[in-house]
Amino acid sequence: MDLLALWQRLPVTSHLFGWLVAGIVAVIAFHLTRTWWRLRHIPGPFLASFTNLYRMSWVPTTRAHLILQDVHRKYGEVVRIGPNMVSFSNPEAIPTSDFYVTLRPYTRSGGALHAVFNTTEEPILKQIKTLIAPLFNITNTTTFKPLVDEVLQCIRDRLEERFTATQQIVDMGQWLQFFAFDVMGTMTFSKRYGFLDEGKDDNGMLGTIVDFMRTSAPMTQSPFLDRILRKNILADIFWQAVRPTPSLAILSFVAQAIREKKEKLEKGDSPASSHTDFLTRYINLQKENPDTIPAWAPTAWTFSNVIAGSDSVGTVMRTLVFNLLVYPHTLQKLRDELEAANLSRPFPRYSEVRDLPYLDACVQEAARIHPPFALPFERVVPKGGITVLGHYLPEGTVVGGSPDVVNRDQNTFGEDAEFWRPERWLEGDSSHKRKLEGSILTFGAGRRVCLGRHVGILEIKKLIPFLVLTYDMRVVDKEKFEVENSWFFFQRGFYAQIQKRPEVQQASLD
């Protein structure tokens, strides 16, 4: 019996089902073909042409940055890593994509919360960024120097009580993180979080941030799945029943801090001064501009301070100190520069260290070699399309550059770009340094450049000279140092022994 005769003998329902299946297959085939065809000229893994699940699968390994490096080595500077996603190892700054939507905390009443670092809509970005941008400029940032000194005194006291006197091994990475968070807590709320005082993450905030990023990181690679699985009322009800969303704990902390601050302001308990904290300024800005600044803006700004304002600085600090200890000749070179500068002791003034060339080179190299954010910064190709590095990208294509990949471009940073070498920032003339500075993606680029970068540099350049001039430090079992890429670069296993330098010890006795 031939196939036609067999088909004719089947009941009508079977015919309809067969046509339905054939139709579905045809639609899927058409969709896959169209998806592949649009960017067929861009090299990359075959599976990535059809689904974002390919790059999404990298994230749970916590090694997505290394996988992407390998992909670029194999396919070149321009690589297709998703149906509509192209990765560059030398990206250009263009408008943002839905990547940042996945990093917004979700509330059932208000939906996803916009913040400066996760907002894609240009009108909203302008609305919530323009008025606070002056708070983060160099001039205003330097008014926080006394607050940094206050936290410096705290970390000095804790290190000497717990470690220099006892010679116990210190989890140096953790204590540097504590310092970064307590500085931002002081700047934002006029009080430390208490990490340095307690010597631990007593309220679980650091753990909550790690959980938030681990949850969000896979979704950054597929915003469509994020909307289905997380950013809707039904998903929110389900996840709250199964496992509370980490971002809600952070939002609750922020909401409570705002309530307490507003109560103090209404009572007149917070006198105006040159050291008015960020939260007070946020609240006053919204109060003075109710027609242009939404009521949720202080929450968004404060959320950014808590999430992005501390972890990123802590990452650069750990990277800098760890590499100084692993490469002791660079530590000695930095110490020589600091001693020759005749700095104030024990805490050098920012004006004394701000422009020291080798210190600046060390900060730049730490930010380059280990950026705090390690998944691609994504942008959307504007109307009309663009041609980049000889490849035409049609309108609507999502492009991105991972800071970890871009910052290791050997054509820009040299064949030793994988390694710590601060001297690269001091080679050549001033135009060479400007080229290097413009080539790293650590703090973003263009309109999306990190607002708090000057705050971070202030913290780092105040802390590092104090540590280098005051203590002899020795890394313990450097092989234990490891990183986890969950969009934020989490580091752990940086242990050290520290003791006061003999001349510092003698000076204190005198």
- Answer yes or no: are the C-beta atoms of 293 and 314 closer than 8 Å: no
Q: Encoding tokens for residue 372? A: 């705090």
Would you say 450 is a known binding-site residue?
yes
What CA–CA distances, in Å, run from 461 to 314, 341, 430, 452, 464?
13, 14, 21, 14, 6
Residue showing tokens 């490096």: 69
Which tokens is 363 given? 């900060």
How far apart CA 465 and CA 13 sit, in angstroms, is: 80
The answer to whether the CB of 106 falls within 8 A of the CB of 228 is no
Interatomic CA distance for residues 437 and 428, integer angstroms: 13
What b-and-e string marks burial along 257-271, b requiring 16 or more CB atoms within 10 Å of the CB? bbeebeeeeeeeebe
DSSP state of 350: H
- β pairing state of 398-401 and 85-88: parallel
DSSP 8-state code for residue 354? T
What is the bridge-based pairing of β-strands 106-107 and 111-112?
antiparallel
- Six-digit token pair at 164? 């220099």
**Residue 82 pairs with which residues in a beta bridge?**
85
DSSP letters spanning 166-223:
TT--EEHHHHHHHHHHHHHHHHHHSS--SHHHHTS-TTSHHHHHHHHHHHHHHHHT-H
Query: What is the Cα–Cα distance from 291 to 223, expressed in whole angstroms?
Result: 31
Contact 80, 48 (CB under 8 A): yes
CA distance 219 to 208: 17
Instruction: Please check whether residue 54 is in contact with residue 223, taking contact to mean a CB–CB distance below 8 angstroms.
Output: no
Q: 33 CB contacts (<8 Å, ≥6 apart)?
A: none
- Rounded to whole angstroms, the Cα distance separating 10 from 263 reads 77
Which of 432, 500, 440, 434 minimizes the C-alpha distance to 466?
500
In the annotated binding site for heme, the residues are 450
In the annotated binding site, the residues are 450
